[in-house]
Structure 1
Amino acid sequence: MLQQLSLPNRIVFMFSAAIFLTIAAVIAYDTYSLQRAVKETYVRQLEGITTTINGRYEESHSIQDVQQTFDYIKHREDKVLMLALHGPSEKDYSILASTNREKVGAAAPKELQPSFKDGKTLIAYLNTSTDRPLVRLVAPLTEDGVTIGAIELLLDSSEEQIIVQKQLQKSIVVGITTAFLLIFVLWWFIRRLLVEPLLQLQQAAKQVEEGKPYIPTSLKGSQEIVQVGKAFNEMVNKLELRYLESITDPLTGVYNSAYFKRVLNEEMAKAKKQGGSMVLLFCDVDNFKMLNDNEGHVYGDQVLKTIAETIRNNVRSSDVVCRYGGEEFVIILPDCSQSDGLKIAEDIRQMVAIYGSHSLLTPVTISIGLAAFPKDADEGTLVHMADRAMYAAKTNGKNLVVSASELSHYKEQEYNRRRTNSNWHLNTIVSLARAVEVKDSYTHSHSEMVSRYASAIASTMGLPDEEVKKVAVAGLLHDVGKVGIPDSILNKEGKLTEEEYAIMKDHPVLGFNILSSVEEFQDILSYVLYHHERPDGKGYPEQLREEAIPLGARIIAVADAFHSMVSQRPYRKKPLTIEMAVQELLRGRGSQFDKDVVDLFLPIIDEMKEESSQSAKEDVDVK
């Protein structure tokens, strides 16, 4: 039962029970003391009568005098109902004198023998058919210190019983009143000093559980209670700090992606339940990788911090700003229509562009995709639609705000843009390759052949088509850095000096720098930069070893070396035969060249030899 009560009620119940038990014990003791006092009064009355009878009996030894004394006492005392003298007879003790003459001569009751024989005073309350309560007293009759009989006294105790009952009732009333007063005072103190602080703590804990803003609680009570309150506040503050750290992006100070996913589901459920609308903005910083490469990561981090602060300053207080990952931000706009969301997104875009215009070399802009729930997407596709809209903004010039409802319009533009970019991309590649050929007359068609060999190797290895394409493009552009090498070194006949060779070894780095400014070439930069690295770590520019060298670079290294060996070079007028070049590849297998790439390239060489022989035979037959 106690377990079902609340802690405050349990405390009050236990203290109330203790008070009632204490008051009951006091009343019981008071009743016992009163009854004991009444008994002592009866005994003193009996002792007075006994002393009188003893005196008369010792003087005259006359039973008649005792009888007269009994009659006189009964006549004077209304409470005295019967007096009797018990003394020894021929057989045993018998009644020698009594106010009830009929009992004279009768045998004394057996229960009075302790008084006759041992000199004990006996007292007993009698239950009779009358309404009056009776008390029976028996005291020994002595002569010269020797018990010679006993005096029996029967009294009407109704008056004393009434006094005892009234006193008992008074004690009960006083006790219960005192108990309730004590309980009330105790309850007041307990509530003020213990219950109210506990209720405050309970309410504070409930606020924390429900995720409401926590207001530090101030407990009033004993020193221990105050300390508990302080400890609770400190604990909540630490929990809130840890919780904020768990949902906050450490760099920008906005919420992280884990918090975004949780709040997004909550807001979509709320909008669906209330029949409202919400908007999701998907933001991506334009050209951020190039900015990081050109300005450094420290500057890039500062840009992200500033953009996050700009976004927060241009949204409503109820909106939730999160960093989704890298240079991407997502913004949840609860209770927001599509038109209002577009206005907020456009404000953000403009403010970021204003901030980014401060640097002419690395301007900063942002592309934003917008999707409204439930108009543009359901719970499962909202993020995807906002992401698609953002991608449409990036592929159509960047620094744009695109709504998911506009995607069909942007698809046609995207197709035209891709076709234009593809042509531009191809023209750029060809132009760069031609620039190297113009610079180095000995490399005529070298880039095309390396690209052909490399793509054949990549295709034989089972790489995806997109990766094969990257390797082919990297093969075309692997020597683009030679445009920065002096002609005297590039076209020198004979062996290069150490200083000249050191300059020549810079061409992979020069090529990397030339291509890094073009976004479309970002995926092939490492192939161009590391195509002269060796598995044994003796290559350049960074002496990478084995698997640390990108696979595309390892493929181009074999293709480049093979075609160089079978081609005329400034330092070698007569090229090597295919068989001699194969022997060089085998000699460098595992040290200079990747052994798996060499093993896959040798069958390709054989196929090319067969094709060449077949072509030569057909030419002879035609002639």
Structure 2
Amino acid sequence: MKIFNRIKDFYSTMRIRTKLLLLFMIFGFFIAYLTFILSVITASIELRSAAFSTVEKLVSRNSSPDVIESFIGKKYNRAMISAIPFLALEGYHEGDLLNIKSISFYLFEPSKDAWYMIFFDKNDILIKEEVTDKAELFVLNEALKKKTSFKDYLYWGNNDSYSLWFNLTGSADRNFYLLSIIVQRKGIVEIGGIFLIAGSFIIFIASFLSARIFSYYMAIPILKLKSQASSIASGNFDLRIDIRSRDEIGELSLAINTMAEEIKLMIDELNSRMNAISTMNKIDRAVLSSLSRFSLVENVTAIVSELFTDLEVFLAMADEDNKRYHVLVGNNLARRSESVNSFYVDFEKLGEEIIAGNYYFYSLSHEENEDVLSELNSLFGTEYFYMMNIPIYIEETYVASLVLGREKDVPFTDFETDTSIAIADQVGVAMKSLRYIERIESLFLGILKALSKTIDAKSKWTYGHSERVAKYSEAIARAMNLNDEFIHNITISASLHDIGKIGVSENILDKRGTLTSEEFGAIKNHPVEGAEILEVIPGYEKFISGIIYHHEHYDGNGYPFGLKEEEIPLMGRIIAVADVFDSLVSDRPYRKGMSVEEAKEILKQERGKKLDPAIVDIILQIV
């Protein structure tokens, strides 16, 4: 087995021309060998046929009984040859392929129940000798049962012999007579000599020339196919080989071209599927981790933009109570207008037919739905050629639509549609979680706002202060064109900005005179204490910056950390301006509230000192 494997390995290293030469030589020698075998077998058959024909003539010609027995005891003569021609065949050669090795006659005398072998002695006198060997007797009795029989063996080209048996008994004979002819078949090696050398040389030359011719015509297309296969292996699936042939190589070329095309399509499909799988993983991490509607639409927008670069997306939240859609716009669509990242659309503007249609999946094209698409484009300020609505349900209740649009005249593909539906399903799961989060948040906010109002109510001078600061902060943020999520967060943060004063005594809050250092220390600590109250509530960290930094000064002289300028988060800087303005126009134990104009003058004086000058300029325009 090891030798076979080594031969196979060695053969695999040969070039195709060498292989063809070797194969043609092997084939040539095989044909020569087969020709030799068939020649010997043919000569054997011809000899057997000739012998049988001679026996038939001999038996029919010898009318006298027991002719063979009549020659026993007589010397070899012409009459014997005439009556028994087989005597002359011993040593006969058939074209150097066969020769008769021996001829034997046997006599069976029924009266004695004995077999005798008839042969010439050294004096050429024909005598008989009784056969006593049991094995030989068995063969003789078996041969006597048939007119002719032979014991032959498969011939493989080696030197061997076989026997022919003929029944020579005539109808008038009292005894039975058998003829045995031993035929020798010569082997290839025995014949050898010039014939073997010349034949080998002719076979080698013919094989060599045939191999060269065939390899030339086979190697060229095979080398082309090899080049194409190497190109495919390196990732180039665009190379095609045109072999104009109807044989197997032509079919192989066509098969490789087809394979390259199919592999290219499969790889493209696989890449798309891999991108989809990667996208779905991102959806699981990003969409399902969204803690607000604003972050949800941003995450969805980012995912869709990464996967489909020419699609725009927005989330239309159905507000059944107010009969309108709250349309949340992602960054890829918000670029159309820096001041808009969400807007409302009344149901009546869309029409009952469109509202009813939003409960189901549909796709609009400029070719088939020009009127509806044109109306939606004018409503949303878009120029889509194609638009897709994917309804989102929570527990079988319609809550929103994921809407995708494309400004190019390219229809949605099945892959885009399937992937977008999968995204919408995940958005539905995320929205269900968001509803729960919003309810919990609303509950906590209600408690915190009630607590904040309680703190404001501890002193008649601060009653309603937090609500007014929240209103001013929201107005400033909107004037700065900040996004809806920031506006939502700063409004809540401003309403809770003084929640840390829960531990400050009413005597300190209502004191008319100057505060002592210890009392001022208690006041200065309320931003940190307020932040500590909110930081233990999951998801409320987004409100902390407005609470902890609203007493930082733009020039760095504020508290609790002494930050300055851009080091102070934007939310803290906005609330600081709103807080100062409301404090100026409100009554305090130690003074009356100022007029708006007086407060504006103070704000101008604090530009670049306590307060951010850009934010001061904005509040001066809106109050």
TM-score normalised by L of structure 2: 0.35
- State the structure with bigger RCO (CA 8 A, min sep 6), 1 or 2: 2
TM-score normalised by L of structure 1: 0.35
The structure in which a higher percent of residues are helix is 1
